[in-house]
Structure 1
Amino acid sequence: MHSPDPLLMTAAGRDDGGTGPGARRRARLAASRLYVCTDLQRFLRPDGTLDTAAFADFCAAAFRGGVDVIQVRDKAVDVAVELAAFATLVPLAREHGALSAANDRADVAALAGVDVFHTGQTDLTTAQCRALLGPDVVLGRSCHTEAQVRGARAEDGLDYFCTGPVWATPTKPGRAAVGLELPTLAARLDAEDPAGARPWFAIGGVDADRLPEVRAAGAERIVVVRAVTQAEDPEAAARTLRAGLPG
């Protein structure tokens, strides 16, 4: 008898046998190890429009270096600039067999046709995201406490979660670091209850020097910002990080 793989289940709870867009995205997310978040500030021209060529060069370099997911996260730009960025990122991600991700704005995510949508604890609920985006978009959430990690593992329709910030980071001012406690917890829960496991990423101040500590805590996937976005050579920086991750 067919036993559905939980990683290939759509958000509506239907197993499409791994052939539909939602299943393909979820399988790709499960195989992901390196997730990059970027703002758009350094790609803006003096008139505030997006230098799409420069942004495309960065994204392509990151993908060549082994990045699996690129998320655009910039609350300081106009919607038109975000949409221009996604018009560049979405096809590039597909070309490289990777995933595109949006943050916070479900309307932008829907218009852009991204693969992944990420929310914080005070943003739209999973049910609200599903109502707006449908069953095929991969949904993720940031978790900062043990209760939030346990809740994310159990929540129907949520595909992955992030634990952190492991270290304090200027990209999240005012957010206290939680240390390695949450990655350690998430790894332990997966070992104790493999059936309840879902993909998770360690986030917050992770770079090549700190990666061994995160790996020792049990993390197999990481989210980085400055380690790639501020590197002189994003492709080389991504490749170095990817070499320290499994798979």
Structure 2
Amino acid sequence: MTALMGIDARLKLARLYLCTDARQEQGDLPDFLEAVLAGGVDLVQIRQKGMSRADELDVLALARRIAMPYQGLVVVNDSPAVAGEFRADVLHLGQDDEKPKRARRALHEWAKIGMSTHDPKQMRAAISDADVDYFCVGPVWQTPTKPDYTPAGLDLVRAAAEAAPPSDPGAKPWFAIGGIADDTVDHVIEAGARRVVVVRAICDAADPGAAARRLKDRLRQAWRDDPAMEAYSIRAVQG
């Protein structure tokens, strides 16, 4: 088995980030997670409102067991309290959640915090916040998971690529999110993204593992096509 990389290296090398519910309707969460992680998902966020804390902790523990052989990271959504009890490696916060500095008090010392951003001002705030380790920009396109948000469009992706160039070892990793699928991923790549978050493109696919593999292959190719990203990858592995 390949030696386990540290959390920082795994985050920097991440390309494909999946948000999923607990698959209670389908009843296939273990098989689903195994398939998508084998297909190339690097981070898995379990995001299901209304679950009891006990059920959420059970689902997170399951995800961690399945993700570990793939060096995948499991992300807790919104709750520093759950993240602390779970000893989470990654906590993701929205603009209306607890502030990162306060949230960090619940986490172990190596844990990472992500932040959703929806406009240039929020993006710049995330970049300048020492307690934010990565950020997401979007939704790029309209999505039913965020029906109340006006799409940010590709301009926000371009702004992120300028403010935090993906190949800059000193820049925070960031992910484009919102409506990204097989037919749109090339647009965000062309706008400067090298990492994406997906939901329906994998969760609603007839073959989730194959859907993950297609997206991951496209992102891998984008990194290979960019000599600066190749150099970035080497530095990330070396620490």
Q: Same fold (TM over 0.5)?
A: yes
TM-superposition CA deviations, 1:74-119 (whole Å, max 9, x none): 1132222211211200121112111101101112112223221000
Q: 1:245 pairs with 207, 219, 236, which one? A: 219
Residues 90 and 114 in structure 1, CA contact (< 8 A), matched pair in contact too = no
Query: Does 1:202 find its partner at 2:168?
Result: no
Residues 140 and 66 of structure 1: CA distance in aligned 2, closer, same or farther (over 3 Å): same
Query: Does 1:26 find its partner at 2:8?
Result: yes
SS at match of 2:188: helix
TM, length-normalised to structure 2: 0.86
Q: Within 1, Cα distance between the matches of 2:146 and 2:186? A: 22
Query: Which aligned pairs between 1:41-190 and structure 2 lie closer than 5 A?
Result: 42-44=23-25, 51=27, 54-190=28-164
Residues 165 and 179 in structure 1, CA contact (< 8 A), matched pair in contact too = yes
Residues 26 and 159 in structure 1, CA contact (< 8 A), matched pair in contact too = no
Q: Within 1, Cα distance between the matches of 2:134 and 2:25? A: 31
**Taking every aligned residue pair, what percent have the same amino acid on both sides?**
42
Q: Within 1, Cα distance between the matches of 2:196 and 2:167? A: 21
SS at match of 1:101: strand
Residue 152 of structure 1 and its aligned partner are, at CA, apart by: 1.0
Residues 61 and 191 of structure 1: CA distance in aligned 2, closer, same or farther (over 3 Å): closer
Q: Within 1, Cα distance between the matches of 2:176 and 2:138? A: 6
Q: Within 1, Cα distance between the matches of 2:155 and 2:32? A: 33
TM, length-normalised to structure 1: 0.83
Between 1:139-148 and 1:192-201, the stretch displaced more is: 192-201
TM-superposition CA deviations, 1:157-176 (whole Å, max 9, x none): 21100000000100112111
Q: Within 1, Cα distance between the matches of 2:6 and 2:211? A: 27
Q: Which runs of 5+ in 1 are unaligned?
A: 1-20, 46-50
Q: Which runs of 5+ in 2 are unaligned?
A: 224-239
Corresponding residue for 1:36?
A: 18
Letter in 1 for 2:45: Q
User: In the comparison of the two structures, how many residue pairs are matched?
Assistant: 218
Letter in 2 for 1:43: Q
What is the RMSD computed on CA atoms of the aligned residues? 2.0
Residue 44 of structure 1 and its aligned partner are, at CA, apart by: 4.8
Residues 70 and 101 in structure 1, CA contact (< 8 A), matched pair in contact too = yes
Q: 1:229 pairs with 193, 200, 203, which one? A: 203
